[in-house]
Structure 1
């Protein structure tokens, strides 16, 4: 399952790139925005040029702006419904009721029905944009009929605009909470944008009204299967991530201990006054010691030597060594203490 944060970041990058292309952003700001896009992508591990990753993270046909528009509309509806549910005075109640769409006259209703029928015919011919216009005209005449919103939701879905379909389906439900077909439209649209949990909820709400509806049952079964699949994928991803972390006791985890062993041996040889001059350990003795060579080989294989050479003190000591300046016994002992050895010369206190 694609990471939600990465999907959001990918949508933001798409929006910003589109803003550059359509001229929304001034030419003077283009370079700065491109740098910002690159920084955002790197921070969240999102590369819009990676076609495989783009396929996983894309929300098409929905765009970030579409999603945000639906959120704003939904929030406004929620606020409006919350405000009307509060106790009202007689004056405010009258004002509220007057703001609700009034039922049209029979003649207007008949005209709206004709528009709906035209829309249905256009849907059969797959002329979805024209059908949407017919349903929109019908809604303008009779906004109290949930069928017009539901049919328009179907037309939006047919052309891949599932966010608009969600908006119309929810509008139909708000007009008539018992209109079962709207729950089916809503569930299928939410399924199409990958919001499987919301899809399950929509189908279940519809089935609560009509338990034998075959379309709702099939939709619910598919949505639940996707939710279960996403859950399994998430579990597998967590398991895979856990196995990539080297457990304690592996070669990588033992790198510091191996280093400490090597330095300890060098310190012991130095403290014992080995054959090397000036208290310096005899390198020939070290190189002929199989245990030391094995530990050095392990460090090389698990990347420990690379990490070691990143230490500025180690790098400085290596440079001096190349110039014939041997490190002193105290330097070796201090180096060992830094890596947890705390060793000294042979036969300590």
Structure 2
């Protein structure tokens, strides 16, 4: 119970200080006074009683204890944005540290830069630039999750900070999360439409997403599930496999026997098989041109290096 009363005593001292701080209205001061009376009555603690002071007073006041705890926590926690209001001297020193950190970055001394930016943040935790610069150092050290958190902190301080969105996009790209990277670059470009690097990075992210989409569709990017579920195609396949010439050729292929083409020529290899396939393709074109067009489109998507396929795609970034 003694430790609890120490905490209550510290809370009472904090509230007493707030009553005389001038930051509360007369009505609020009265409310705080009622709260103090309730605590004193419930815990039998009185900040004006010498005996209570000797038993329960601690060396630091509650606000200093709270800020000391925040300072001891990793700065990558978004809830730990500093409550400390920097003095003019601290702001000046923080700017010097930022400049020193920038010099470390230029010299590719990324660990030293990270440490220096952290010192600047300790002095002035309300400056978005310091978090954004430290995010760059985190990224160079392949600590991309930490970089993202620092960028989020910068954005919490300055929601219109385009560079924070841009650097967060770089971190997401390094984590192969191109969808989130794209959104970051879009926001950065919205805030700073003249920055060509944002446009370039946005185009790269969109290209990566297109590649992922193609790879996810099946072998070579073809969506075989949709192809095989197409009734017209399955009917064509059934017709092809019921063709006597195709059946004979497939039997010969399986047995290794010489194959005879539709023209009566005998030989090995798959040439006769291709000739029958060409005949069936011509039949498919005549009977169901829409289905053939669909297949050609999917084959074109499966081969993005094919110039005819590229012509159907919008230019990157548009």
What is the TM-score when the length of structure 1 is the normalising length? 0.42
User: Structure 2 length normalisation: TM-score?
Assistant: 0.45
RCO higher in 1 or 2 (8 Å CA, sep ≥ 6)?
Answer: 1
